[in-house]
Chains A and B, each alone.
Chain A
Amino acid sequence: MLAASKVDILKDRAAILRRSREFFHQRSILEVDTPLLSPLASVDEHIDLISLEPEQGHTSYLVSSPEYAMKRLLAEGIGDCYQLSHVFRKGESGANHRPEFTLTEWYRLAVSFDAMIRETLDYMELFVGKKPVEEITYLEAFQKYLQIDLRQESYETLKKRVDERLVENINDCLELLVSQEIEPRFRPECFTVLTHYPATQAALANTLRLDNYEVALRFEIYHGGLELCNGYDELIDAAEQKRRLEEANRQRISRGKEPLPIDTDFLEALEKGVPACCGVAVGFDRLMMLRHQSEEIGKILPY
């Protein structure tokens, strides 16, 4: 009986993959298929990569996201594009995590940050139908749920709100407060769009000053407290991107993690010119979990 329901879920997965392709095709977004194995790495402070040795003496990495490869294609002039990609992240294993999972990632040229959020919500509807949407900025969320004004509070006072043993800097502190105090209070059965992250958590997003606070044009969408995607108004400035990658490597070293080889091909593409664009990576398996009311990611995967 268990086997039958698994087969039903997998047939449904096939249907959703088909509908995803249809969704992008109707919007004239091109499917791309970039390599999963890369000799150069994407550098994130908190994402560890699985390394392999496809040839004796040469290390390669399984990609943690197709982002760099897709941006290289954008620099080549491929235009709007999407990818349904397996991605790999070392050490991520739990009810909502697998070291290998599927992302739906796409890039749109000359589109506004808001329009990108709308399109992402439209895509999510394919899986779970229409849901109420609440939009809140990072600054507002801290105000609303914790009565904290991030423009006023110092690291020292914020630190007192969390277990100090767990944090090394202000970003650790903010992320911990979001995951322990804010996400659990997002309305259930509803999409919450969290926008305008602090500029210090910009990753690959453009930044600006808003309400007297340096913010990144970055958004995440949650269903209840479950994180479903991460999107940016994409940074296309090569020098700034290089600076951020080097900073991520410095942070990795300070946490006792290995630094990773910076993807010079990616930086070259930015120098050559990636057109202004927005992009988003959506957790396909998380949406399948919601669709099948599964508390465990393994239940919606073949194995």
Chain B
Amino acid sequence: MAQASTNEIRPGFKVEIEGQPYAVVGNEFVKPGKGQAFNRIRIKHLITGRVVEKTYKSGEKLELADVQETEMRLLYTEQDGAVFMCDDTFEQHTMSFDQIGDNAKWLKEDILYSMVFYNGQPVTVEPPTFMELKVTETDPGVRGDTASGRVLKPAKLETGAQIQIPIFIDQEEVIKVDTRTAEYVSRV
């Protein structure tokens, strides 16, 4: 397997530690004037997202993880998972809802998702930052609500995501949503 020394490792590198894939988010060189040199490497687990810090002797080598990032289009969802396809190779991959986790609420057919593959298997799926989605369930806005300062109301979107929208948006309208924060951006 390919390796990289602590002095080559930069944020963005993907490394494998104790059989787990991590993305490097920081690499700090630490050396007392007269003492041994170390690198404090901050890494983020590619699946759980947990960030940890590990110390290595400078010059030590780390295993690089076999990680690929590609864009794939959602073909359809099934009972317990979703099937994606690569536009270029027509290669298809199924991911279970367990693996997709929280992002399952942003799955919509025919949208391109960025997916991370570790050792050839999909491990994470990220929706586009902004998505245009139809409001499928919400109560009509009540006039008096603005006066009391309540300008938002709960809504359910076509993908199943539950978010807060302004009271002037009606059911069946299409809105733009920021998927990072699950917040309403604008009317489409």
Chain A interface (Cβ < 8 Å from any Cβ of B)? 44-47, 91-97, 163, 166, 171-172, 175-176, 178-180, 201, 203, 220, 227, 230, 281
Contact = CB atoms under 8 A, between A and B. Distances in A.
A227 B37 contact: no
A227 B30 CA distance: 11
A97 B31 contact: yes
Contact of B32 (A93, A94, A175): A175
Contact of A166 (B28, B32, B55): B55
Contacts of B34: 44-47, 201, 203, 230
Interface string B37-50: 11000000000000
B58 to A, nearest CB: 7
Given A47-B34, A166-B57, 11 more contacts: A44-B34, A45-B34, A46-B37, A91-B58, A94-B29, A95-B28, A95-B29, A96-B29, A97-B29, A166-B56, A178-B35
A46 B35 contact: yes
- The bracket for how many chain B residues form the interface is 10 to 19
B30 A175 contact: no
Nearest to A281: B33
B36 interface: yes
Contacts of A97: 29, 31
B101 to A, nearest CB: 32
Contacts of A45: 34
Nearest to B30: A179
Given A46-B37, A179-B38, A91 B32 contact: no
A227 B57 contact: no
Contacts of B7: 91, 93
Given A93-B7, A166-B55, A166-B57, A172 B29 contact: no
Contacts of B31: 46, 92, 94, 97
A121 B94 CA distance: 65
A95 B11 CA distance: 14
Contacts of A95: 28-29
Contacts of B55: 163, 166, 180
A94 B36 contact: no
Contact of A230 (B33, B36, B37, B57): B33
B35 A179 contact: yes
Contacts of B37: 46, 91-92
Contact of B33 (A94, A163, A171, A220): A220
Nearest to B27: A94
A175 B35 contact: yes
Contact of B29 (A92, A178, A220, A230): A92
Nearest to A220: B33
A227 B33 contact: yes
B30 A94 contact: yes
A178 B30 CA distance: 12
* Residue from B29, B34, B56 whose CB has the most chain A CB atoms within 10 Å: B34
Most B Cβ at <10 Å: residue of A45, A46, A163, A172: A46
A175 B35 CA distance: 6
A92 to B, nearest CB: 6
B43 to A, nearest CB: 15
Contacts of B32: 175, 178-179, 227
A281 B33 CA distance: 10
16 contacts: A45-B34, A46-B34, A46-B36, A93-B7, A93-B29, A94-B29, A94-B30, A95-B29, A96-B29, A97-B29, A163-B55, A175-B32, A180-B55, A201-B34, A227-B33, A281-B33
Nearest to B40: A180
B41 to A, nearest CB: 12
Interface in B45-72: 55-59
B72 to A, nearest CB: 38
Contacts of B58: 91
Nearest to A96: B29
Contacts of B28: 94-95
Interface in B103-145: none
B30 to A, nearest CB: 6
Contacts of A47: 34
A227 B55 CA distance: 19
Interface centre among A47, A94, A166, A180 (most CB of B within 10 A): A94
